[in-house]
Amino acid sequence: MTMMDVRGVKVWPGMLDAAAQDALVVALREVVRRAPLVTPVTPRGQEMSVRMTAAGRLGWISDRRGYRYAPQHPSGVDWPPIPDAVLDLWRALVGGARDPDCCLVNWYGPGARMGLHQDRDEGDFSWPVLSISLGDAALFRIGGTERPAPTSSVWLHSGDVVLMGGAARLCFHGIDRVRHGSSRLLPQGGRINLTCRVVAEVTS
């Protein structure tokens, strides 16, 4: 399978075929049933445009207290387990020495985007971040490890897989826009993005 390198970030277009995507959506419906999507707010009280939940030992949350990992959903329930298909993909691309602690589930509806940011709440940057795209296509922007660095953009489509590791582990990245209606995977439309991360410790 062809792999693209974009500023050190590895991208595998179409790694998940249609059947694998359908099966993963079914598994994610169970995750969302047990830990419903929420609209997080930033520490300044601004609502994010994406809706989120998580699976695994820990989940990433954001509220007026700040950005952090927590062992429970904001409702107080434990996070559901990470779907086996996601763990299988992690083990195939990263290895089996350690499974991710968190699989963050982001849902992008109409108008949702994600500004340039670094994933740096994990405390251990020796492990990569694995990302899976499902549903509508999204314009993924990738920069350097310093915010003023030049950026490059690539369209991510349903079934694409991204790995940010090594020197690219702390690159700035974001989603500029989503091409709504470009995929028929999700009956309600939109985009799901999964990001798997190893977390050194709970930061709350």
Low-confidence ranges of the chain (pLDDT < 50): 203-204
Q: Which of 104, 117, 128 is nearest to 54 (CA)?
A: 104
Q: Per residue in 70-100, pLDDT tens? A: 999 999 999 999 999 999 999 999 999 999 9
Apex 133 CA angle, 65 and 108, nearest 5: 50
Predicted confidence at residue 204, as pLDDT, reads 47
**Count of structural domains within the chain:** 1
Runs of H (alpha helix) within 77-178 = 84-93
Radius of gyration, alpha carbons of the chain: 16
Q: How many other C-beta atoms are found inside a 10 Å radius of the C-beta of residue 44? A: 6
192 is a domain residue: yes
Backbone angles phi, psi at 118, to 5 degrees: -110, 145
204 is a domain residue: no
Are the C-beta atoms of 142 and 88 separated by less than 8 Å? no
21 is a domain residue: yes
Amino acid residing at 189: G
92 is a domain residue: yes
Sign, CA dihedral 21-62-164-153, equals positive
Runs of H (alpha helix) within the chain = 18-34, 84-93
Predicted confidence at residue 1, as pLDDT, reads 74
- The CATH number that applies at residue 172 is 2.60.120.590
Task: Specify the 3-state DSSP secondary structure of 99.
Answer: coil
Q: Which of 94, 90, 158, 153 is nearest to 126 (CA)?
A: 94
Range of the domain at 44: 4-197
* Rounded Cα–Cα distance for residues 34 and 162 (Å): 26
Task: Specify the 3-state DSSP secondary structure of 5.
Answer: strand
Are the C-beta atoms of 138 and 177 separated by less than 8 Å? yes
94 is a domain residue: yes
For the entire predicted model, the pTM comes to 0.95
71 is a domain residue: yes
203 is a domain residue: no
Amino acid residing at 1: M
202 is a domain residue: no
Q: Which of 175, 172, 154 is nearest to 6 (CA)?
A: 154
